[in-house]
Structure 1
């Protein structure tokens, strides 16, 4: 393939995906730190509660959870509920409830989605089939952008053949070492 064609493919894919590249990079950085803080939402209120839960976990049904939410005056759409690690967890769109199964003590946490940040983080979390396919095409395009970028400068001391392969190899070493040592 000629340099002119490589340059055109590299340039056009870069232009087409520049917004998505920036969005993925931005939300990816935020996702890296989600165990420290929740960048996609911020807490507006925490309320302590005491409730009576059934002794048998199997009695914690959808109906029980809906009635519990009504009694706690939670006017929010229930997404899911579960009993895990000794706690009943209720997840709503803008509210989370966690109650100790043994003591019935818990808290209601109300939050608001962080504008823009929560929307960009959805790019990494969504399970929509069409988005997954679009993301796959994006991933393939990033590979093409990388390969065409390597092939664009094919002469001189800064070419891939003379210098670039060393930097590419150095760039591969760190993730390989990380995978071998920490995972």
Structure 2
């Protein structure tokens, strides 16, 4: 039996169904990560008080942060720290700390990865060699699904009759967001 556009389209869509669903959900979650980040949810928040600091630029340095980390019992890898208008922000891989240096009052928030959703979002950023190969095949599969989809319908609803107009709009929208609204 000779493969048709319909059978190729169907079989590629079936094969990639799980990945299409995972990428769809995780992509939506990543689009809204400022409101809710699926890779990190707060599971504890602890109010703290440290001695106030009047001259943070000369006092808060790597040694201060290291001592603070040990004193607070934070067993995590430091990513960075910054002082902005007497506000000290310390970012660890699984903790965030905010301290008002003029009062010494602050908060330590600890994070965990949201089960399942957090792992799905990892698919968008994974850089292992085998995942990249599989993702490349997925990209090729999506192209096959797109191109075979153009030839499934015949008649007045075919790609040649009206589908090209919708496809053109579908191409223009991302370009508008990319070049005019970003």
Q: Note if contact 2:97-2:108 (Cα within 8 Å) is conserved in structure 1.
A: yes
Deviation at 1:85, TM superposition (A): 5.2
State the aligned residue count: 176
* Alpha-carbon distance between aligned partners in 2 of 1:25 and 1:69, rounded to the nearest angstrom: 38
How do 1:101-112 residues align onto structure 2 when only pairs under 5 Å count? Answer: 105-112=105-112
Matched, 1:89 2:85: no
How do 1:20-99 residues align onto structure 2 when only pairs under 5 Å count? Answer: 20-51=19-50, 55-56=57-58, 59-60=61-62, 65-74=65-74, 76-78=75-77, 80-84=78-82, 86=84, 87-93=88-94, 95-99=95-99
Query: In the TM superposition, what whole-angstrom CA distance separates every residue of 1:25-54 from its partner, at most 9, and x where no partner exists?
Result: 001111111112223332222222244688
Normalising by structure 1, we get a TM-score of: 0.78
Q: Note if contact 1:82-1:90 (Cα within 8 Å) is conserved in structure 2.
A: yes
Deviation at 1:12, TM superposition (A): 2.0
Structure 2 unaligned blocks of 5 or more: none
Higher percent of residues as helix: 1
Q: Note if contact 1:81-1:88 (Cα within 8 Å) is conserved in structure 2.
A: no
Structure 1 unaligned blocks of 5 or more: none
**1:125 corresponds to:** 125
Structure 1 100/126 Cα, relative in aligned 2: closer, same or farther at 3 Å? farther
Deviation at 1:148, TM superposition (A): 0.9
Matched, 1:8 2:7: yes
Structure 1 137/90 Cα, relative in aligned 2: closer, same or farther at 3 Å? same
Query: In the TM superposition, what whole-angstrom CA distance separates every residue of 1:129-179 from its partner, at most 9, and x where no partner exists?
Result: 3323322221221111100111223x3112111121112112222222222
Q: Note if contact 2:89-2:96 (Cα within 8 Å) is conserved in structure 1.
A: no
Deviation at 1:88, TM superposition (A): 4.2
Normalising by structure 2, we get a TM-score of: 0.78
Structure 1 92/168 Cα, relative in aligned 2: closer, same or farther at 3 Å? closer
